Structure 1
Amino acid sequence: MKLQERSYSSKMVRPKPMIHVEEDGSLIVIVTSWGQPEHGERALNEVVKYVSAAKADVEVTSPFEFLTCISDEANYVRTALMIANDALYRGENRKEYASGVEILALFKRGSQVAWAQVGAPSIFMQRQNQSLQPLSVASDLASEMRDSMNLPPLPAQLLGLDPTCNIQTGHTHVNEGDKLMLFAGTAVAPSVWGLQSYEIDLNMITNAMVQQEPELPFWLGLIAI
């Protein structure tokens, strides 16, 4: 997997995410820290350490149960997020909130991409000769409270604030030439849904977003499979 990314800010600002991409492209981790940046780095490192050991067939132990209803790869990234949540909660937020993070881990093995996430970014699939389809959508509280005025971004789900966390996880089959669009922001511009597969690039999507809502900040990622 190869990632291109871009941040857009106006008078309002969305924190820029930290990104880890494995050299072989098999693992991508995207962390947005709402608080201290080093806490986001800690969560990222926990995820990379666990998934790297799991994919290398190193015997790893975990206090968390594997789910039989999802693939092994999806279990790996889900367990990694649970470990990161536990580390951040116990280490930083047990007595009072210091930081929370939004996090997405994508793990590709063979023709499968598995993901686990808490909060943004949302994941959309662009298969060849098909329209854009949502795989996993993250909500933004600013969109829920938005009326006649635009509000700064406000995450609805954060990792590390509670002993448990709501992890969205899944997996999908992919082919060479497919693309994943990642979006963290208040709303996707309607014109983006009409873009053809050959039009899905950072410039086209960014222009569509800015023309629709120039005041709203966002982060955009595009992954070539």
Structure 2
Amino acid sequence: MPPVTSIGEPQRFEALREAIEACRICRDEPRYGPPLDHEPRPVFQLAESARICIASQAPGIRAHRSGRPFDDPSGVRLRQWLGLTDAEFYDASRIAILPMGFCFPGLGKTGDLPPRRECAEVWRPRVFGRLSNLKLLVVIGSYAQRWHLGHDATQQGLTETVRAWRRHRDDTTPSVFPLPHPSWHNNRWLKLNPWFETELLPVLQADVRAVLL
């Protein structure tokens, strides 16, 4: 995991959340490539009491506009995968939503650009060092999986990482469930990997419910 930068550590958790909300590193002090070409708007959900964390990629354009994570059809599918209502999903006291890049990264030629690398380096060690109640980590997509599971566990690609979900669930603390992105662009992947819905999702939903009880 990349080292923590020299930015001061907020003493109060609320101050940490406020610092993330005010972050403009990708726009004002970019470390990798050109600055963000639009006004930053960090989109996340965070409370120190959270027991489940959804580690995702980066907000899309709809979430950027609304300021609400997974405020799009992908979010509808993700909530179905988790077995959660909208009210449960957006209960920050129980569920944190922390993308690898907090701001919409902009559009590329074939879709959204990758998440900005500055975010993870600056904020991820701080945030996860303070989530002492975390029991379950849902890791969506290859960017988040590489960060949270490491190179060795993800070097064979997303499909094999997700296929090894039992090992990640049983051998990590907190328990980790690697998932593909719930985008409708992954419909073909879901058809090619029916075990995801028949084997993984029932266990994930049961674990989510058990953690939230």
Q: TM-score, normalised by structure 2?
A: 0.29
* Structure richer in strand, relative to its length: 1
* Structure richer in helix, relative to its length: 2
Q: Which of the pair has the greater relative contact order for Cα pairs under 8 Å at 6+ separation? A: 1
